[in-house]
Structure 1
Amino acid sequence: MNRVLVLGGGQLGLMMAEAAARLGLVVDRYDPERALLLPGTSDLAVPITWEECLERYPVVTVEREAFPDSGLSARLAASDRCVARGALAVIPDRYTQKSMLDELGIATAPWRNLDRVEDLADAAAEFGGVVVKARSGGYDGRGTWIVGDGGDLSAVPAEELAGRAIVEKKIPFRRELSIVGARNPAGETLFYPLTRNWHVDGILRLSLAPANASAALQPEAENILRRIMEKLDYAGVMAVEFFEEDGRLLVNEIAPRVHNSGHWTHEGADWSQFDLHVHALAGVPLHSLNVHGPSAMVNLIGTPFDQAWLQHPGVVHWYGKSVRPGRKVGHANLVAPTLEGLRKGLNAWADVLPEGFEAILDSELALD
């Protein structure tokens, strides 16, 4: 295999194409909204037909979970060439995703389906604080409503969501963690270390890797991700986000693709998650990973490019998107010999990090 088609025209597919070019392979991107092909890393879009796709691309992968209901992208996502086909049938709907995890005996926040308006009050009576999530389409905090124990349920549009949402128990987690790993068609797997994540208003703002004091949790996290990939017969990189509660891991979300919390691997490991994704799809034997040291990823959210960033510690990755509030337009990666050194480097990025990031670093440093 030397040519892959990725469904999606965003920055994740572009970074896959960049990784493939370094490996002597080709990743082309199909933009579903424009119904046009973006060859390699080019921005010059061209038309393509179903027959041409079958001729050129033995493997199809994805950079996102949702596609139009009809058209070439929908047809390709459902084809037997799409290595994420099984995952796309399960993961995008939180009901089927949670049901699969229950079937596998993998721990998640207790939950129930929001079939009727009355189910919301029943869930709150059972769980206390609740999190209501639209079954599909939610992203970066959208489609999510959080109500604390005894809180006002009227803020949740229950009538609108009935039959289209789930209700979870609000977990008093110690921290949010994620694991990114890969599986190739031969069933070989490889994993990065657990990553500590900090979200604000549902949007990832900072990742620290490897997560401190996580060695005891790493085998459990790897086993969970391995079982999910095997269940879905998945090839490529996949990510699982967890809540850490009382020394155990609860699955929060699954992403059948390269993931924002794995962006630190650009500079923090010998092979980035994009390299690893292409390796897995090409059937390359998955070898051990070398992690360079404590790493941080700072998401650049809704801000114009600032030339001063180039004088800060770290490496800037800019996506070339138009800027609007809440939009991920780039990220910066930092690597240091120690977490304390990483903290010093992050101080230079205080203007793009929300207030309170120092407390996250303090809490991570305090873990043994």
Structure 2
Amino acid sequence: MNRVLVLGGGQLGLMMAEAAARLGLVVDRYDPERALLLPGTSDLAVPISWEECQERYPVITVEREAFPEEGLSADLAKSDRCVARGALQVIPDRFTQKSMLDKLGIPTAPWVLLDKEEDLPAAVEQFGGVVVKARSGGYDGRGTWIVGEGGDLSAVPAAELAGKAIIEKKIPFRRELSIVGARSISGETLFYPLTRNWHVDGILRLSLAPANACADLQKPAEQMLKGIMEELDYAGVMAVEFFEVDGQLMVNEIAPRVHNSGHWTHEGADWSQFDLHVHALAGVPLHALNVHGPSAMVNLIGTPFENAWLQHPGVVHWYGKSVRPGRKVGHANLVADTLEGLREGLDAWADVLPEGYQAVLESELKLG
């Protein structure tokens, strides 16, 4: 299989196309909003029909979870060639996602459906502090309301959210971790090491990989992700975000695609997550992963490009997007021999990192 179609015209699909080009493979992108095809890494959009897609692409994948309800992208996402078809039926709705985790016996925060307005005070009485999440559409802190124990419920539009949200118990976690792995069309699997993530206001700002003190957590994380991919008959790269609680892992979110917390693999491993995604779909064997050393990924959020960054330690990946507050417009990857060396490199990026990143590094160093 030397041709793959990715549904979505964004940055993740572009990075898949770049990875494919290095292997002599072709990944084209379909932009659902414009109903146009973007061949390879080109920005020259052209029309394409269902019949042409069927003739040209034996495999279809996705770079996001939500698509228009009608049109070519909707039809392609539901077709038997879409390796994410099962995941798209379950993962985008947090109710069905959490129900699947419960079915598989995979630990997740205790939860209930926000079916009617009175369910919110009842959940607070049951759980104490809670997190209310829209069933679909929320990301980067959007569609999420956090209420501490004894907190004010008036900030949560419970009546408006009735039937459209879930309520989770607020978990006092030690740190946030994630695992990125791949499953090939033939069922072969491969996993990156667990990654430490730091979110500010719901947006990922810094990832550190491999996460320290995870020898006992790596295999359980792999088994959970493998079980999810098998349940959904999924092929390609998938990511799972965890809370670490009392030395155990608890699933927070699932992403049926390449993931922001895996961007460190561009420079931090022999094969990036984008390479691995293409390999898994094109029938290329999933080679053993060589991680180069302690790595960091710094998200560049809502900031214009600075030429001075090119003199900083690390490699800049700039997305060419228009800049607006809260928008991910690029990332920088750093690799060092030690976490101490990584800390020195990150200090050069202090102007784009929120206050507190040093404490994240210190906590990882203490775990080492």
If the length of structure 1 is used for normalisation, what is the TM-score?
1.00
Partner of 2:133: 133
Paired with 1:287 and 1:274, the residues of 2 have a C-alpha distance of 14
Detail structure 1 runs of 4+ shifted over 4 Å in the superposition. none
Partner of 1:332: 332
Paired with 2:200 and 2:271, the residues of 1 have a C-alpha distance of 29
Partner of 2:261: 261
Partner of 1:316: 316
The amino acid of 1:72's aligned partner reads L
Paired with 2:48 and 2:327, the residues of 1 have a C-alpha distance of 29
Whether 2:155 is the aligned partner of 1:155: answer: yes
Q: Could you list the per-position Cα deviations for residues 271-305 of structure 1 after superposition, in whole angstroms to 9, with x for gaps in the alignment? A: 00000000000122212100000000000000000
Percent identical: 86
Whether 2:188 is the aligned partner of 1:194: answer: no
Q: Could you list the per-position Cα deviations for residues 313-358 of structure 1 after superposition, in whole angstroms to 9, with x for gaps in the alignment? A: 0000000000000000000000000000000000000000001111
For 1:31-110, what aligned pairs fall within 5 Å after superposition?
A: 31-110=31-110
For 1:266-345, what aligned pairs fall within 5 Å after superposition?
A: 266-345=266-345
Paired with 2:34 and 2:85, the residues of 1 have a C-alpha distance of 22
* Structure 1 SS opposite 2:351: helix
The amino acid of 1:113's aligned partner reads L
Paired with 1:353 and 1:18, the residues of 2 have a C-alpha distance of 28
* Structure 2 SS opposite 1:352: coil
User: Unaligned stretches of 5+ in structure 1?
Assistant: none
Paired with 1:343 and 1:36, the residues of 2 have a C-alpha distance of 44
Paired with 2:331 and 2:161, the residues of 1 have a C-alpha distance of 34
Partner of 1:348: 348
Partner of 1:179: 179
The amino acid of 1:223's aligned partner reads Q
Paired with 1:220 and 1:284, the residues of 2 have a C-alpha distance of 26
Paired with 1:322 and 1:46, the residues of 2 have a C-alpha distance of 23
The amino acid of 1:110's aligned partner reads P
Q: Could you list the per-position Cα deviations for residues 196-236 of structure 1 after superposition, in whole angstroms to 9, with x for gaps in the alignment? A: 00000000000000001111100000000000000000000
Q: Could you list the per-position Cα deviations for residues 41-76 of structure 1 after superposition, in whole angstroms to 9, with x for gaps in the alignment? A: 000111111111101000000000000000000000
* Structure 2 SS opposite 1:351: coil
Partner of 1:2: 2
Number of matched residues? 368
If the length of structure 2 is used for normalisation, what is the TM-score?
1.00
* Structure 2 SS opposite 1:358: helix
Paired with 2:139 and 2:75, the residues of 1 have a C-alpha distance of 24
Once superposed, what is the RMSD of the aligned Cα atoms? 0.4
Paired with 1:287 and 1:105, the residues of 2 have a C-alpha distance of 30
The amino acid of 2:74's aligned partner reads A
Whether 2:115 is the aligned partner of 1:115: answer: yes
Paired with 2:318 and 2:91, the residues of 1 have a C-alpha distance of 28
Paired with 1:284 and 1:49, the residues of 2 have a C-alpha distance of 28
Report the Cα offset of residue 184 of structure 1: 0.4
Report the Cα offset of residue 185 of structure 1: 1.2
Partner of 1:357: 357
Paired with 1:185 and 1:351, the residues of 2 have a C-alpha distance of 43
User: Unaligned stretches of 5+ in structure 2?
Assistant: none
Paired with 1:292 and 1:43, the residues of 2 have a C-alpha distance of 33
Paired with 1:268 and 1:69, the residues of 2 have a C-alpha distance of 38
* Structure 2 SS opposite 1:98: helix
Whether 2:24 is the aligned partner of 1:16: answer: no
Q: Could you list the per-position Cα deviations for residues 147-183 of structure 1 after superposition, in whole angstroms to 9, with x for gaps in the alignment? A: 1111001110000000000000000000000000000
